[in-house]
Chains A and B, each alone.
Chain A
Amino acid sequence: MADLTTRFAGIDSPNPFWVASGPPSNCGDQVKRAFDAGWGGAVWKTIGEPIVNVSSRYSSVDWNGVRMMGLNNIELITDRPIATNLREIAEVKKRYPKHAVIASLMVESRREAWHQIVRSTEDTGADGLELNFGCPHGMSERGMGSAVGQVPEYAKLITEWVKEVARTPVLVKLTPNVADIRAVARAAKAGGADGLSAINTLNSITGVDLDTFTPRPDVGGKSSHGGYCGPAVKPIALHMVQQLAGDAGCGLPVSGIGGISGWREAAEFLLLGCHSLQVCTAVMHYGYRIVEDMIEGLSNWMDEKGFRTLDDFRGLSLPRVTEWQHLDLNYKIVARIHPELCIGCGLCYIACWDGAHQCIHIEGAGTPEQLLAESRARLTQTPAVAAVDTSQTPARRIPKVDQQECVGCNLCWLVCPVESCITMDRVDTGVAAQSWAQRGA
Chain B
Amino acid sequence: MTNEQEYAASFAEIHPPLGRREALAEANRCLYCFDAPCSNACPTHIDVPGFIKKIASENLGGSAMTILNANILGLSCARVCPVEVLCEAACVMHRYNRQPIEIGRLQRHAMDHFYGTGRGLPAPAADKPGRVACIGAGPASLACAAALRQGGVQVTIFDSRPLAGGLTTYGVADYKLRPSDSQQEVELVRSLGVEFRLSVEIGGELRLKEMEEQFDIVFLGVGMGRAHPLAIPGETLPGVIDALRFIADYKMHRGAPVGRRVVVVGGGNTAIDAATAALRLGAEEVHVLYRRSETEMPAFQFEYELAKQEGVRFHWLTQPVAVHGSAAVESVECVRMELGSPDRKGRRQPQQIPGTNFELACDMVIPSIGQSRLLDFLSQFRDVRLSGGCVAADPETGQTSNPRYFAGGDCVNGGREVVDAAAEGKRAAAGIARRLEAMHG
Contacts and interface: CB of A to CB of B under 8 A. Distances in A.
Interface of A: 64-65, 343-347, 349-350, 362, 368, 371-372, 375-376, 378-386, 388, 390-394, 397, 417-418
A418 B96 CA distance: 7
Interface in B21-73: 24-25, 28, 31-37, 39-43, 45, 56
B340 interface: no
A391 B36 CA distance: 16
Interface string B386-427: 000000000110000000000000000100110110010000
A384 B94 CA distance: 21
Contacts of A385: 298, 300
Contact of B36 (A346, A386, A394, A418): A346
A380 B96 contact: no
B96 A343 contact: yes
Nearest to A392: B95
Given A64-B56, A417-B31, A382 B86 contact: yes
A349 B92 CA distance: 15
Contact of B85 (A344, A372, A379, A383): A383
Nearest to B418: A382
Contact of B45 (A343, A375, A388): A375
Contacts of A388: 85, 89-90
B92 A344 contact: yes
B419 A382 contact: yes
Contact of A371 (B35, B42, B395): B35
A347 B35 CA distance: 9
A417 B395 CA distance: 37
B303 to A, nearest CB: 9
Given A345-B92, A382-B416, A382-B419, 9 more contacts: A65-B24, A344-B33, A379-B396, A380-B41, A380-B42, A380-B43, A381-B43, A381-B413, A393-B95
Contacts of A394: 37
B298 A347 contact: no
A376 B45 contact: yes
B31 A345 contact: yes
B35 A372 contact: yes
B416 to A, nearest CB: 5
A347 B32 CA distance: 8
Given A64-B56, A65-B28, A375 B95 contact: no
B138 to A, nearest CB: 16
B92 A343 contact: yes
Nearest to A380: B43
B160 interface: no
18 contacts: A343-B93, A343-B95, A346-B33, A346-B35, A350-B34, A380-B43, A381-B420, A382-B420, A383-B86, A386-B82, A388-B89, A390-B89, A390-B90, A393-B92, A393-B95, A397-B35, A397-B37, A417-B31
B294 interface: no
Contact of B34 (A343, A349, A382, A391): A349
B84 interface: yes
B95 A344 contact: yes
Interface in B90-122: 90-96, 100
B199 interface: no
A397 B346 CA distance: 30
A395 to B, nearest CB: 13
Nearest to B82: A382
Nearest to A383: B85
Prevailing SS type, chain A contact patch:
loop
B372 interface: no
B33 A382 contact: no
Contacts of B32: 347
Contacts of B36: 345-346
Contact of B35 (A343, A368, A381, A417): A368
B34 to A, nearest CB: 3
Given A65-B56, A382-B420, A346 B43 contact: no
Contacts of A390: 89-91, 94-95, 100
Contacts of A349: 34-35
B2 to A, nearest CB: 36
Contacts of A391: 94-95
Interface string B221-256: 000000000000000000000000000000000000
A334 B378 CA distance: 62
Contacts of A371: 35
Nearest to A350: B34
B214 interface: no
Nearest to A376: B45
Contacts of B31: 345, 347, 417
B301 interface: yes
B43 A344 contact: no
B370 to A, nearest CB: 13
Nearest to B27: A65
Contacts of B39: 375
Nearest to B32: A347
A362 B35 contact: yes
A344 B37 contact: yes
Output the residue of A368, A383, A390 with the most chain B CB within 10 A: A390
B30 to A, nearest CB: 10
A10 to B, nearest CB: 47
A197 to B, nearest CB: 35
Nearest to A341: B95
A383 B301 CA distance: 12
A362 B420 CA distance: 28
Contacts of A382: 43, 82, 85-86, 416-417, 419-420
B89 A381 contact: no
Nearest to B295: A385
B95 A378 contact: no
B153 to A, nearest CB: 22
- Ranked nearest first, the 7 interchain pairs of A and B with the lowest CB-CB distance are A346-B34, A65-B28, A390-B94, A350-B34, A388-B89, A343-B92, A345-B33
Contacts of A386: 82, 84-85, 300-302
Contacts of A381: 43, 413, 416, 420
A394 B413 CA distance: 27
A308 B47 CA distance: 55
Given A346-B35, A350-B34, A371-B35, A378 B85 contact: no
Nearest to B419: A382
A372 B48 CA distance: 13
Given A382-B85, A386-B301, A388-B85, A368 B95 contact: no
A379 B412 CA distance: 15
Contacts of B35: 346, 349, 362, 368, 371-372, 375, 397
Contacts of A379: 43, 395-396, 423
Given A65-B56, A390-B94, A378 B40 contact: yes
A107 B190 CA distance: 72
A372 B100 CA distance: 22
Contact of B28 (A64, A372, A383): A64
A360 to B, nearest CB: 11
A393 B96 CA distance: 11
A345 B91 CA distance: 9
Contacts of A392: 95
Nearest to A66: B28
B27 to A, nearest CB: 8
Contacts of A418: 96
A381 B41 CA distance: 8
A375 B34 CA distance: 11
A72 B308 CA distance: 54
B255 to A, nearest CB: 31
A393 B35 CA distance: 14
A382 B414 CA distance: 12
A344 B423 CA distance: 25
